Structures are given as structure tokens and as C-alpha cells.
Structure 1
């Protein structure tokens, strides 16, 4: 006999929601300055200056970093705006 466990159902629901989220990934390059990446993250991704600076450091030292999480429809225009600024950005799936 199967037993209903409401806690397990809540975890399954959360897993389904997480599966629908994507990330904007910014890749390190030798072209864009820290200041430009930080300014772009503040203006486009609505980061605080401190958060944007931390992301820029992660990008520099790790080669890439997920800077924004959300649904694809929300992230796409932000990713395109970053690309328009010359920043190498992609959306994961």
C-alpha cells in the first residue's frame, strides 16, 4: 500500500519549479573591463554594485559565472542586452 507523504510532494513540486529555471552565464574574456561588466550587471541584471563586483571577480577567476536565475522569457532580453554591450553571455538549460 502506498502512503501519501505531503513533505515529499512539496519537495517534488519544488524540484519541478527549479527545473524550469535557467541561468544567465557570463564568460570571461580579455576585452571587457571589470568596470564595464559591473556597470552592465547593475543596469541590466539589477544587481547592487557590491553584488556585481563579486560576480565580476567570480567571472574573472573561474572563467564563467551564473549571474541571474529565472525563467527563460525573463532572462532572454537581459542576456541579449548584455551581448549588445559586447559581453559574452549565454542562457543555460
Structure 2
């Protein structure tokens, strides 16, 4: 008997809303990614402003990690 599969398509907003309720996304410090790259990714993928991305980059640099989504 064949197995029936259902596909569900979600928007980025729906996915992020689910993450905010159930999980934390933690950004860890490393020696490979530059401040500019981290800020760029925060802006491109999470719709943060440049100032927010810079604040996160400094927090990660000084504290070793930062929750970027909760």
C-alpha cells in the first residue's frame, strides 16, 4: 500500500514566528567571520538594521555568544 505524503509551504515569517515561540538562535564567537560579515548576515537574513547587527556583533565579540532570535 503506497504511503501518502503531504507537503506544507511556509513563509519566512511563519518559520521565524515558530522559532520565536519554541527556540533560541544563538550566534557564537569564532575566529573566522568578520564583523562586517556578521552585520551583513543579520541584515540580510533576519531583517535587522545595521545598528542592530553591529550591537549583536559587539556583544558576541565581548561575551562569546548572543541570542539573536528568541
Superposition TM-score tier, normalisation by shorter sequence: 0.5 to 0.7
State the TM-score, normalizing by the size of structure 2: 0.67
Matched, 1:55 2:48: no
Task: Please tell me whether Structure 1 or Structure 2 has the larger radius of gyration of its CA atoms.
Answer: 1
Where does the alignment leave 5 or more consecutive residues of structure 2 unmatched?
1-20
* SS across alignment from 1:65: strand
Number of residue pairs matched by the alignment:
50
CA-atom RMSD in angstroms? 0.9
Superimposed CA distance per residue, residues 6-38 of structure 1 (whole angstroms, 9 cap, x where no aligned partner): xxxxxxxxxxxxxx4321100000010000000
- Say whether residues 1:22 and 2:41 are aligned partners: no
Where has structure 1 moved over 3 Å in runs of 4 or more? none
Listed as ranges, the gaps of 5+ residues in structure 1 are 1-19, 70-93
